[in-house]
Amino acid sequence: MHPSTLISRIESTAPPQLAASWDKCGVQIASAASEVKTLCVALDPSAETVRQAVDHEADFLLCHHPLSLSPRLPSRLDDFHEVLRLTLGTSLWLYSAHTSLDANPDGPVNWLGRALRMQDMRILEVTRRETPVVVRLTDPAVQEKVRDFGGNLARRDGHMEEYLLWPDESAAFKARLEPGSSFQEIALAAPIREYGFGCIGTLPVALAWDEFAAHLSALGLPLSRMVGQAPQSVIRVAYCPGSGAELGPAAFAGGADVYLTGDVKYHQAQAVQDLGLTIDVGHFCLEETMMRIWSEGLDRDLSPEGVRVVFLSGRNPFV
């Protein structure tokens, strides 16, 4: 598979336009390699991870975290220098899907909600809203140019066809049309797609605290660092993988009994200690499982096309 094709597949799940303004998603290190036979997936682009990818003879390494959030020179013999040496020396692509992945509620970021069979799931902090357009075509010759978009066909009436297109589809659709082609575009106010960080939802049935805690433990989530009092029962749950302590107030304002996240600091804990139970499961656990689940999905999609997908387990520095 060509690297550009693989990147398009990755970005269908982690669209670059969803990334936070401060983030550095996308290609971290480019390569002259023009074919991807082995894709490795991991949480962190550490030197240890890159060594494992090289051992697997990987052509492409997909990580969640970026190599760096600010430009820097390899002026010290550190992990950054070693990652550059290994990737450039073996023609290994390095790509980061960070907040671009975090902000897509339909992606693997919401694995916990699915594992808990949560209902009525919604985003805690909406950062982007999108609405579609309807493109109306009346010329049969023009309609033939967009037959590949049959799944977007919303209505046909005689010689008139209407296509429902979201922003990520509109540009590709219009690119099929020849310059000067006649079409009518109608902006819609609904439906609306929302993207952003964190999730809140409702369990299928209320669970006693001990039972809910047992579910979390079975999913590999530690319960040793908690802020506030455990409720007698749990029905409304919120979470934000990674570092999401700042969303605690929004979680409890939305009725959460329990909020799970990582990297909770002292003053952030003070701000929410009387609002409900916050469980700091650490930065690692939720995101490591997220990347493993994404890796499994990529394997299902790409293995029929000849791409071997290997998940590289990370190492929690706090264990």
Query: Does 215 appear as a known binding residue?
Result: no
Q: How many angstroms separate the CA atoms of 228 and 40, rounded? A: 39
Query: Does 56 appear as a known binding residue?
Result: no
Residue 276 · residue 252 · CB < 8 Å: yes
What token pair was written down for 45?
Answer: 């682009």
Name the residue among 130, 107, 188, 126 with its Cα closest to residue 154: 188
Query: Does 65 appear as a known binding residue?
Result: yes
DSSP letter string over 106-158?
TSGGGHHHHHTT-EEEEEEEEEEEE--EEEEE--HHHHHTTGGGGGGEEEEET
Query: Does 288 appear as a known binding residue?
Result: no
Query: Does 125 appear as a known binding residue?
Result: no
5 Cβ contact partners less than 8 Å away, ≥ 6 residues apart:
none
Q: Sign of dihedral through CA atoms 192, 197, 203, 204?
A: positive
Q: How many angstroms separate the CA atoms of 303 and 282, rounded? A: 32
309 Cβ contact partners less than 8 Å away, ≥ 6 residues apart:
38, 39, 40, 41, 295, 298, 299, 302, 303
Pick out the residues of the known binding site for a divalent metal cation.
64-65, 102, 283, 287
Pick out the residues of the known binding site.
64-65, 102, 283, 287
